[in-house]
């Protein structure tokens, strides 16, 4: 297992939900954290080991700025957790593609830009880690929300691309694919909230993946809160 001592983890969308749970869990473990937030004042943890930086998935230049701020503060980057994302309804037959474009910008281009900017530092680490929070919607399609599924399938593909190009340099990437999670995003879902996966449980999985050595990489983590026929 890798020690967390001195290791720096960037986490996007850490102000609430899954991202906040991951930030709290990794902070308790002793990692140094760089949190990418639209509102840095909303950071769920604080202290000498925490940097709260302004970052927006919809602003292309902010990824490089966040990475630069992280390196300036800590001198290194060992892991990136791409958690920020949005879910809006876009059906296959919808001709107005603005919703699809917005999800593509945030869910796919957002993590792509952060990974691209952080890649040289992850290579230098020798044990760089990337965890992309995707979804079971990135593995199958169960409803008419084609746009969301398309973006999450792309996130899974992005993860495997990182594994391919970074493997020889010690970079390991994992696509975390949960179903319903008890967050604001699922507040209107018909599925019972008390049967949804808790953000804290996903945070435990992320902590475990980050600590695994290069010889025990997990490419995908499919997390079920109900029976999935095709998984």
- 165 in a structural domain: yes
- 228 in a structural domain: no
C-alpha radius of gyration, the chain, whole number: 17
**CATH assignment of the domain containing 105:** 3.40.50.720
> Residue 182 has which token pair?
């008890």
Residue 205 belongs to domain spanning: 8-223
- 121 in a structural domain: yes
- 180 in a structural domain: yes
Q: Tell me what pLDDT residue 97 has.
A: 98
Q: Tell me what pLDDT residue 218 has.
A: 98
- 87 in a structural domain: yes
Q: Tell me what pLDDT residue 141 has.
A: 94
- 15 in a structural domain: yes
Residues linked to residue 221 through DSSP beta bridges, in sequence order: 176
- 18 in a structural domain: yes
Active site positions, annotated: 148
Name the nearest CA neighbour of 143 among 101, 186, 92. 92
- 230 in a structural domain: no
pLDDT tens, the chain, 231 aa long:
999 999 999 999 999 999 999 999 999 999 999 999 999 999 999 999 999 999 999 999 999 999 999 999 999 999 999 999 999 999 999 999 999 999 999 999 999 999 999 999 999 999 999 999 999 999 999 999 999 999 999 999 999 999 999 999 999 999 999 999 999 889 888 899 999 999 999 999 999 999 999 999 999 999 999 998 865
Report the side by side order of strands in the sheet with 79-82: 50-54, 32-37, 8-12, 79-82, 129-133, 172-178, 220-223
- Distances 84 to 46, 58, 96, 105 between C-alpha atoms, Å: 19, 11, 24, 11
Number of domains in the chain: 1
């Amino acid at each position: 297992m890798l020690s967390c001592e001195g290791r720096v983890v960037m986490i996007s969308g850490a102000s609430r939900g899954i991202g906040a749970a991951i930030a709290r869990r990794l902070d308790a473990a002793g990692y140094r954290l760089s949190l990418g937030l639209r509102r840095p004042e909303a950071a769920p943890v604080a202290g000498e080991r925490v940097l709260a930086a302004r970052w927006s998935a919809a602003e292309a230049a902010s990824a490089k700025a966040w990475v630069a701020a992280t390196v300036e503060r800590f001198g290194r980057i060992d892991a990136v957790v791409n958690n920020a994302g949005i879910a809006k309804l876009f059906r296959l037959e919808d001709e107005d593609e603005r919703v699809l474009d917005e999800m593509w910008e945030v869910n796919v281009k957002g993590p792509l830009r952060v990974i691209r900017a952080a890649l040289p530092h992850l290579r230098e680490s020798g044990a760089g880690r990337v965890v992309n929070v995707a979804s079971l919607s990135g593995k199958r399609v169960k409803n008419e929300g084609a746009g969301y599924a398309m973006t999450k399938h792309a996130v899974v593909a992005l993860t495997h691309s990182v594994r391919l190009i970074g493997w020889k340099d010690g970079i390991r990437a994992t696509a975390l694919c949960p179903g319903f999670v008890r967050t604001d995003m699922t507040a209107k879902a018909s599925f019972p909230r008390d049967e949804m996966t808790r953000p804290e449980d996903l945070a435990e999985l992320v902590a475990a993946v980050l600590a695994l050595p290069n010889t025990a990489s997990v490419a995908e983590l499919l997390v079920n809160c109900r029976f999935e026929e095709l998984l």
